[in-house]
A = this chain, B = another copy of it.
Amino acid sequence: MAAWNAFLEASHRVGRRVERQLRDQQGLSHPQYEILVRLAEAPDREIRMTELAELLVTSKSGITYQVGKLESAGLVRRRSCSGDERGVFAVLTDEGMDKLRSAAPGHVEIVRSSLIDLLTPDQLDALGDALGTVARRLDPRD
């Protein structure tokens, strides 16, 4: 159970540092930042609400809430989905893209100093391998 305790402690400590950095320096929650990242990577910079929830491993109502925040801030807009009247796309605005570009360096820096740079290349590879396996095997799409 040593691995389990390390897993718990590391997630909390790293998560806490990442959240504080984004909050203090960019006024963004971590979920909000993740939404911006996913949208920026997506074709046409847009993703359906439900898919966003799956990508971030969170609830649909959580996405409704956070996308609402981002929309108020002008970083994201909603677009209804032609072909499926129920569907809603969250779309990254130009402002949102700018925000992401300004937030990314600080975020990368804190991720490095909280995780990446603490490990040897071998340790990091092993970590990615193990957690990649876990993430993949717990993916509901099986």
Which chain B positions have C-beta within 8 A of A131?
3, 6-7, 9-10, 127
Q: How many copies does the complex hold?
A: 2
Please tell me the size bucket of the interface on A.
35 or more
| Distance in angstroms between the alpha carbons of A139 and B119 in the assembled complex | 15
| Distance in angstroms between the alpha carbons of A8 and B15 in the assembled complex | 9
Q: Which of A69-77, A79-87, A95-103, A108-116 is near enough to bind chain B?
A: A108-116
Which chain B positions have C-beta within 8 A of A132?
2, 6, 10
Q: What are some 18 contacts across the A-B interface (CB < 8 A)?
A: A2-B132, A3-B116, A4-B111, A4-B116, A6-B128, A6-B131, A6-B132, A6-B134, A7-B127, A7-B131, A13-B57, A14-B134, A16-B57, A114-B138, A119-B134, A126-B126, A127-B127, A127-B130
Residues on A lying within 8 angstroms of B by beta carbon are 1-4, 6-17, 34, 56-58, 111, 114-116, 118-119, 123-135, 137-139
